[in-house]
A and B are shown apart, each in its own frame.
Chain A
Amino acid sequence: MKHSMLKYLAISAMVAALAACSSAVPLNDKPEVESKTGTAPGSGDGRAVPTVTPGNADPLNDPQGVLAKRSVYFDYDSYTVKSEYRELVQNHAKYLLANPNRKVVVQGNTDERGGAEYNLALGQRRADAVKTLMLALGVKEGQIETVSLGKEKPKATGSNEAAWAENRRSDIVYQ
């Protein structure tokens, strides 16, 4: 029973892949979900199985993809997005442009040194710096909220440069 099910799935997947190849639609575009279920319309036998095609998955969910990187790191007392993180922000900006219904919260963080409120404001500037870059790349303002966690939610504990560097960070969090 189990084997026959697997076999059925494998065949369905091959059919779907072939159909995708033979069409004029690029692989990375949206899947034509409804025509690939492999079940006769209205059959209603409860055995319908939807096909998942790896090439058509949301790139946001690809752990190897460029969108998997969602943290921008900052220097001490600084809220300037360093050049090495511009591409990371651009990748997310492109995705948000292509998916205008998606929204993100950018969370700014700081290391533990200094006052809670000033760090909260500094974290806000770090979040805003990422937002400003995204807006410049055409992302709609309504897609981004920036908040600060200041020094209150450290990812790395410890009072050393490695922990501090890890905590001077803005995270792009999809809603």
Chain B
Amino acid sequence: MNYANTLMHSIPNTALWGRIRRVAYAALATFALMALSNTANAQLKIDITGVGANQIAFSAAPFQGNQGLPEDIKKIIEDDLVRSGFFRSINTTSNVDLNEATLIDPTAWKSIGVDALIVGSVKKLPDGRLDLRFNLHDTAQQKSLGKFSYVIAQSALRLTAHKIADYVYEKMLGEKGVFATRLAYVEKAPGRYRLIIADADGANPQVALASKEPIISPSWSPDGTQLAYVSFETRKPVVFVHTLATGRRKALANFKGSNSAPAWSSKGEKIAVVLTKDGGSQIFSMGADGSGLNRLTNGNGINTEPAYSHDGQSIYFTSDRGGGPQIYRMSTNGSNASRVTFEGGYNISPRISPDDKILTYVTRREGQFRIAVLDLAGGTEMLLTSTGREESPSFSPNGRYILYATRSGGKGTLAVVSKDGRIKYTLSSSGADISEPTWGPFLND
């Protein structure tokens, strides 16, 4: 990615502002809802409960010069922010003539309920690249929170719009946005399986692997450049590592029996896998290059779905050593295994939040498979979903959301829920049968 990035204003303490702002919202929200319509993306089903009063009202102006380009920058930013659940769009035509250089009257914007005003322009340069500029105005603080110029290839337009949305999200909420991150998932059709990499909003799907045999358990390398996964292309499960930019792939674990459940360590130097070559399903770790195989679990039972903690100290995993499947934690050398989940008789697919404080997993309750979160310090469990066919949860890299697979109309689809359960949305799909989603890391650029 080749873009210039110039911060022209210093940024005040936005976390503090978030608190002050929230007090003002309750009063403003009523007026804003009465006076103006709330525009949400019609194709996207977003279900938000309990955060309404704290939503930040924003207005995104059409980017001047956007006509004739393949992407609508304003719409991408607007859809991203609305989908997050923390923003609502104020629909107005008063912003149509604005760009990043326009002097605005913050008080006037604030009086119609706009907390954040996003304005910008895009211009084609002689060499074919685009000069994309934007300015974020905070009407309460009566100042700009950042004014940028990106020089980008036209193919990077969509990604750059996501980055602008990330910038707005971070400045207004004080935590990193995940709009520019990517998802991996598997699309199934009879006799055809495709490993897909898409933007976090589900758009721009690209096929990394097309196979006649099943693909499961994609796992991102921490730098987002590689995926490990299980492919059945040789009529049995084998673990592959695949470099996305080149398409280069190699079998990492192809032992007698089944090879599955790859998981990268937080720094990317190791990969844990599950092998059955010695009897039972056992967790092993190895170097990311396949060197130095080291067995971590014992016994004849099931030990699977390893997930490294982000502090590099522990591995969470699923085991049936106590009867039904439950989630356990052990140190990365396999010692000191202890049970973590106790509610319900079937708890699988552990993933740990980026701050290592919350565990998400699939739990079966009365025959229904649901996404749960467990506060590891307090021991409080919360069930986040209720449709009953949920699978494969993974945290967004900022820890705010959980991506998972569910069923709708007889097909697998992707859905997202915030870790507190208040924000839920489904990602529109092409009608394909989708499974095994996993949220990728922050982009490194």
Whether A118 pairs with B237 at a CB distance below 8 angstroms is no
15 other A-B residue contacts (CB within 8 Å) besides A117-B260, A120-B304: A115-B392, A116-B392, A116-B436, A118-B302, A118-B349, A120-B216, A120-B281, A121-B302, A121-B304, A124-B281, A147-B276, A149-B237, A152-B214, A152-B232, A159-B410
List, in ascending order, chain A residues with CB within 8 A of B216's CB: 116-117, 120, 150, 152
Whether B214 pairs with A118 at a CB distance below 8 angstroms is no
Per the CB 8 Å criterion, the residue count for chain A at the interface is 23
List, in ascending order, chain A residues with CB within 8 A of B65's CB: none
Using a CB-CB cutoff of 8 Å, which residues 130-157 of chain A contact chain B?
A: 145-150, 152-153
A128 within 8 A of partner (CB): yes
Closest-CB distance, B250 to chain A (whole angstroms): 20
List, in ascending order, chain A residues with CB within 8 A of B304's CB: 117-118, 120-121
Whether B214 pairs with A145 at a CB distance below 8 angstroms is no
B256 within 8 A of partner (CB): yes
Bound-state Cα–Cα, A27 to B189, Å: 50
List, in ascending order, chain B residues with CB within 8 A of A93's CB: none
Using a CB-CB cutoff of 8 Å, which residues 38-91 of chain A contact chain B?
A: 77
A94 within 8 A of partner (CB): no
Whether B237 pairs with A147 at a CB distance below 8 angstroms is yes
Binary CB contact string for chain A from 105 to 116 against chain B (1 if under 8 A, 0 otherwise): 100000001111
| Complex: chain A residue closest to B186, CB-CB | A116
Bound-state Cα–Cα, A105 to B257, Å: 9
| Complex: chain B residue closest to A105, CB-CB | B236
Whether A114 pairs with B369 at a CB distance below 8 angstroms is yes
Using a CB-CB cutoff of 8 Å, which residues 299-330 of chain B contact chain A?
A: 301-302, 304-305, 318, 320, 324-325
A122 within 8 A of partner (CB): yes
Closest-CB distance, B209 to chain A (whole angstroms): 15
Q: Give the residue of A114, A116, A128, A159 whose beta carbon is less than 8 angstroms from that of B346.
A: A114
| Complex: chain A residue closest to B391, CB-CB | A115
Interface centre among A114, A115, A149, A152 (most CB of B within 10 A): A115
Closest-CB distance, B41 to chain A (whole angstroms): 30
The answer to whether residues A120 and B260 also contact, given A113-B369, A152-B232, A153-B214 and a CB cut-off of 8 A, is yes
List, in ascending order, chain B residues with CB within 8 A of A159's CB: 410
Q: Give the residue of A115, A149, A150 whose beta carbon is less than 8 angstroms from that of B348.
A: A115
Closest-CB distance, A139 to chain B (whole angstroms): 16
B91 within 8 A of partner (CB): no
Whether B349 pairs with A117 at a CB distance below 8 angstroms is yes
B164 within 8 A of partner (CB): no
B292 within 8 A of partner (CB): no
A169 within 8 A of partner (CB): no
Whether A128 pairs with B302 at a CB distance below 8 angstroms is no
| Complex: chain A residue closest to B215, CB-CB | A152
A92 within 8 A of partner (CB): no
List, in ascending order, chain A residues with CB within 8 A of B230's CB: 120
Whether A114 pairs with B364 at a CB distance below 8 angstroms is yes
Using a CB-CB cutoff of 8 Å, which residues 229-261 of chain B contact chain A?
A: 230, 232, 236-237, 256-258, 260-261
Q: Give the residue of A77, A145, A148 whose beta carbon is less than 8 angstroms from that of B256.
A: A145
Bound-state Cα–Cα, A148 to B324, Å: 19
A36 within 8 A of partner (CB): no
Bound-state Cα–Cα, A75 to B90, Å: 56
Bound-state Cα–Cα, A152 to B212, Å: 12
Closest-CB distance, A146 to chain B (whole angstroms): 6
List, in ascending order, chain B residues with CB within 8 A of A77's CB: 324
